[in-house]
A and B are shown apart, each in its own frame.
Chain A
Amino acid sequence: MLFKKRMNTKEISFNEEVQIIRTKIIHAQEKQPIKSIVVTSPMPGDGKTTLAISLAKSIAHTGKSVVYIDANLNSKTNDAALKLTSNGDYGLSDYLNSVNDLSYLQVLSTTEISNLSVIPNYVISNHEDDLLSGRRFLDLITLLKEKFDFLIFDSAEIVDCPDTMFLVGQADSVILIARLKHTLKSLTTRAIRLLQELDVNVIGWVLNKS
C-alpha cells in the first residue's frame, strides 16, 4: 500500500509534462494536418512564451524541423531563453516593416538544437501597425510552412488584441494556456468565445500551475 501511494504521488518533471502535451498534439494530427500552432492565453503572464518555447524544443527533439516565431510584437524576445547560436540584428517586426527589404533568412536564427530555428522580435510595435494582418506576414507563413515541419507561434493574449485574433485565424491550430489563481475566469470565457467565433481549431488547453 505504501508503494502504491508513492506511485500516485510521483512528481512529473517539467520536460515530461511538455512531452505529454506534445504527444497529444501529435495524436491530434491524426485527425487533421497540423503544421502551425499558435500558443495564446486570455491574459499576459499566463506562461505562453515558456510553453511555446518548450513545445518547440520538444517537437524538435523528435527529429522534426521546427521554427519558433515570436509573434508577440508587444515585447522583445528573450534570447537567453532560446540559447541562440547565431542571430542577426533583425526580428519579425523589422521583417514585416520591410526594413531594408529583408529576406526571411536574415531574421532566422539557429539554436543549440539543430532542428530548431527561431524568428525573434526585437522591436516593440504598435497594434495599429497591423503588421500581422499584412500580406508580407501571410507570405512568410506560407514560405515557412514549405521549409519547416512545424511552426510554433508565440502570441500576445487574445482578448482585445486584433493581431492575435488575426494570427489564430491563419494558423492550423491553437493551444490556450491559463494560469492557476492568476487567469480570470471572465477573460478565459471571453477568450474561448472569441476562438469559437473565429472558428479556429483549438487542440486543447494547458494549465500553468505556477
Chain B
Amino acid sequence: MIILLTFLGGAVIGGYALYQEHSTYEATAQVLVKFPKSTEDTDAEQVNIQMARLISTSSVLLKSNLILDHVVNKLNSKYNYSTTSGSLKDNTTVINDQGSQIISVRVTNNNKRDSILIANAIVKEFQSRIPNLIGLTDTTYILAHEAYEINGGSRTKLKFIVSGAFSGFMLSLAIIFYIEFATRFIVDERDITKKFGLQFLGSIDTNEK
C-alpha cells in the first residue's frame, strides 16, 4: 500500500503540475533611436537633452494603449492571435539603460513562439506610428529571434512530482497507522456486542469518578 500510494500521490500531483504549470518564455525585441545629425547651428547639449526626453517618452509610449491597441488588432487580423491590451501590458517590460539609445521590449508568454511574435509586433507597430505621435522618425527595430525559458518549468514539475510522491508516502503511513489503531483496540461497543453477542450493559468514564 505504501508503494501504491506513493506512486499514486506522485502521479496525481505530477499530473496536476503538468496540466497547470507552464514554462514561461521571454523574448526581447529592441528599438534603436538614432541621434539626428548635428550641424553647426545645433547645441550638442540641447540635442542630448532632447534625445533623452524622446527616448523616455518612447519608452512610455511603447507600453501605452496608443501602441498596444494596434498591436492587438494586428495580432488578431494577421496572425489570428487573440489577446488584450491589458494582457500585453502585464506581460511586457520596457527597459532603457540611462544614456543608451536602445529601448528593449521584453515580452513573457507561456508559448515560446508567441513571446517572439508579440515582442516583434510591438516594436514594428511602434516604429510605424511613432513619427505621427512625437515626430520621431529615425528609429530602427531589432527583432527577437529567440525566446528563453525563465522559470525553470521542468525543474518545477519535478519538484511537484517529488512532493506528490512524498505526500502519497506520508498519506499511506497515516492510513496504515489509522487502520492499525482502529483494528487493534476496542473503539466502540460494536466491537464486542456485534462480534460475540454479549449484552452491552452500559458505559462509564472512570476519569469522571
Contacts and interface: CB of A to CB of B under 8 A. Distances in A.
B77 interface: no
Contact of A206 (B196, B204, B207): B204
Given A14-B204, A17-B204, A208-B206, A203 B185 contact: no
Interface in A1-37: 13-14, 17-18, 20-21, 24-25
B189 A207 contact: yes
Interface residues of A, number: 35
Interface stretch (A85-93, A95-103, A117-125, A178-186): A178-186
Given A178-B192, A181-B187, A207 B199 contact: no
A205 B192 contact: yes
Contacts of A142: none
A183 B186 contact: yes
Given A185-B185, A192-B192, A175 B201 contact: yes
A208 B192 contact: no
Contacts of B202: 17-18, 20-21, 24, 206-207
Given A54-B209, A203-B199, A205-B199, A181 B185 contact: yes
Contacts, number: 98
Interface in A151-194: 175-176, 178-186, 188-189, 192
B191 interface: yes
Interface residues of B, number: 25
Residue of B185, B193, B198, B201 with most partner-chain A CB within 10 A: B201
B168 to A, nearest CB: 27
B155 interface: no
B82 interface: no
A31 to B, nearest CB: 11
B199 to A, nearest CB: 4
B95 to A, nearest CB: 65
A185 B206 contact: no
A208 B205 contact: yes
A78 interface: no
A210 B206 contact: yes
Contact of A14 (B185, B191, B201, B208): B208
A192 B208 contact: no
A51 B186 contact: no
Interface string B173-209: 0000000010111111101110110111111111111
A189 B195 CA distance: 9
Contacts of A202: 198
Contacts of A14: 204-205, 208-209
A175 B204 CA distance: 13
Contacts of A47: 204, 206
A192 B198 contact: yes
B201 A21 contact: yes
A185 B201 contact: no
A204 interface: yes
The 9 closest A-B pairs by CB, nearest first: A204-B199, A204-B201, A207-B203, A210-B207, A14-B208, A50-B206, A21-B202, A47-B206, A210-B206
30 contacts: A13-B208, A14-B205, A17-B202, A17-B203, A21-B204, A47-B204, A47-B206, A50-B206, A176-B192, A178-B186, A178-B192, A180-B185, A180-B187, A181-B181, A182-B186, A186-B184, A188-B186, A204-B199, A204-B201, A205-B192, A205-B193, A205-B200, A205-B201, A206-B203, A207-B188, A207-B202, A208-B203, A208-B204, A208-B205, A210-B207
Interface of B: 181, 183-189, 191-193, 195-196, 198-209
Interface of A: 13-14, 17-18, 20-21, 24-25, 47, 50-51, 54, 175-176, 178-186, 188-189, 192, 202-210
